[in-house]
Amino acid sequence: MLLMIYFLFFSLGQCSVDFNALLSFKDSVFDPSNSLSSWVNSSNPCIDSWYGVTCNPSTHRVTRLVLENLNLSGSTHALHHLSYLRLLSLKNNRFFSSSAVNLSSWRYLRHLYLRQNLFSGTFPVGISTLRRLHRLDLSHNNFHGEIPMTELTQLPFLLTLRLESNSFTGPLNSIASFSSMSDFNVSENKLSGEIPAWMSRFPVSSFEGNKDLCGQPLQSDCFNRTALPATIKKKIRHPQSKRLSNGVVLMIVAVDVVAVMAALVTITWCCYKYKCFSDGTQTEAMETKSGSTTKLQRRSGSREVEIEAEELVMFEGCKGFRKVGDLLKSSAELLGKGNVGTTYKVMTDGGDMVVVKRVRQRRRRRDVDGWLRIMGGLRHANIVGLIAYYNSKDELLLVYEFLSNGSLHSLLHG
């Protein structure tokens, strides 16, 4: 009897850990579609059917968490307390990591799907502790550094390893092979060196997009890459050519000088033509005179319709618009121009006033996304809140709250 009471209280205590972890996770993410509305403090995740949550009926511990295609954004740190997870799938969201992802607390995990998010940093630590892992999908993120092949080959049940479309570097060397693996892909990374012989059974598509990889099944021959340096080294050690005459040396120098000058002239001409082309074909339909009212719309041909259909990434306080087209077709007033970009005051169809900054100078898209999501979560009385943004290879639009009389000039001169 005492053992039954002890087991009951122990189970309830462990369930409370999962309950608190899920609520903490919900509070830390941005949920634009309110998909986690069933996760409330007055209910039980294992009894009241929380969205995406599955529990073990005996232990009342969370064993599966499936949150796919929900446009959720934020950190996944709180999920580390779900120590009895067997399956975790967060595919096609916007989760990111402020530090290296740690998998060591999920020692019972069998399936991990983090595809198509904004995770960054080195390969997740603690992978060797997941001895029961069958499927691992980290594709389409921004992980970098070397792939720990030695640790991965220690996972006896691993069937799937999807790492494509990241920024992994280094070789694919490993001591052992994955005898049971059937799904393997490391394409579109920055890997180098020779592909191990046991990997040659996978198709070419598993390795494409790594220009420094060689060996089967790729058509790139590793022998030619290693033989050339050896040949050059041999010639340096045993010089056989005669010394060049002064006339030949002068001719070579003259040709080099002419080639460099021609290259400089060509580069200068191309830059000039590019500037003229840009000024003539990609103008903005905004009045440069301060105070005028017009439309915040870019003339970019057929690309304009695609941009207008794109949805904004929204944060707290965003209302009255969801797509880029809602902003581009709204009435706008030029507030100012600077080195960074142009700022407009925009009135949406719902009558709300916002400030839109169109940024000129761009960085890598994934880097910008990570910083903007951190900025979108900041709220302070002395900080103008970022309520939405749109980021693509063609545009970067930042949408802020509008504060009347919020300029430095108004504060100084009333």
Mean pLDDT, rounded, for 113-121? 96
Structure tokens at 390: 């749109």
Residue 9 and residue 103 share a domain: yes
Looking at the structure, do residues 149 and 297 belong to the same domain, yes or no?
Answer: no
State the distance between the two ends of the chain, measured CA to CA, in whole angstroms: 77
Residue that finishes a domain, picked among 195, 225, 255: 225
Q: Is pLDDT above 70 for 244?
A: no
Quick one: 272 and 395 in the same domain?
Answer: no
233 within domain boundaries:
no
Confidence of residue 3 (pLDDT cuts 50, 70, 90): very low
Question: Residues near 20 by Cβ (< 8 Å), separated by ≥ 6?
Answer: 81
> What CA–CA distance (Å, rounded) separates 203 from 74?
35
* Residue 19 structural domain: 2-225
Please name the residue that has the structure tokens 């950190």.
Answer: 75
Same domain, 212 and 316: no
Same structural domain for residues 110 and 215? yes
Tokens 């002068």 sit on residue? 250
Q: Give a yes or no: residue 235 inside a domain.
A: no
Instruction: Reply yes or no on whether the pLDDT at 114 is more than 60.
Output: yes
User: How high is the pLDDT of residue 361?
Assistant: 55
Enumerate the H helices of 286-407 as residue ranges.
Answer: 303-309, 324-328, 365-376
* pLDDT tens readout for residues 356-407: 888 865 556 666 777 777 777 777 777 778 888 888 766 788 888 877 766 6
State the Cα–Cα distance between residues 414 and 408, nearest whole angstrom.
10
Which is nearest to 321 in space by CA: 395, 398, 388, 397? 388
Tell me if 170 is assigned to some domain. yes
**Number of domains, the chain:** 3
Whether 280 has a pLDDT exceeding 50, the answer reads no
Helix (H) or strand (E) holding 227: helix 222-237
Domain annotation covers residue 237: no
Residue 229 pLDDT class (50, 70, 90 cuts):
very low
Confidence tier at 326 by pLDDT (50, 70, 90): confident
How many angstroms separate the CA atoms of 302 and 82, rounded?
Answer: 48
* Structural domain includes residue 41: yes
Residues of the chain with pLDDT > 90, as a percent, come to: 42
Establish if 234 belongs to a structural domain: no
How sure is the predictor about 304, in pLDDT bands with cuts at 50, 70 and 90? low
**Does residue 106 belong to any structural domain of this protein?**
yes
Residues 71 and 126 in one domain: yes
Q: How many CA atoms lie within 13 A of 374 on its CB side?
A: 9
Whether 1 shows a pLDDT value over 80: the answer reads no
Beta bridge partners of 298: 284
Q: The domain spanning residue 337 has which CATH number?
A: 3.30.200.20
Nearest Cα residue to 390 out of 316, 308, 329, 304? 308
Instruction: Verify that 209 and 306 share a domain, yes or no.
Output: no
At 15 the pLDDT is 63
Q: Is residue 68 located within the same domain as residue 8? A: yes
40 and 172 part of one domain? yes
CATH number at residue 184: 3.80.10.10
Residues 83 and 111 in one domain: yes
Query: What's the mean per-residue pLDDT of the chain?
Result: 79
d(CA 372, CA 282): 26
Q: What is the pLDDT of residue 264?
A: 79
pLDDT tens for residues 35-73? Answer: 999 999 989 999 888 999 999 999 999 999 999 999 999
Q: Rounded CA gap, 346 and 108, in Å?
A: 52
Residue 158 forms part of a structural domain: yes
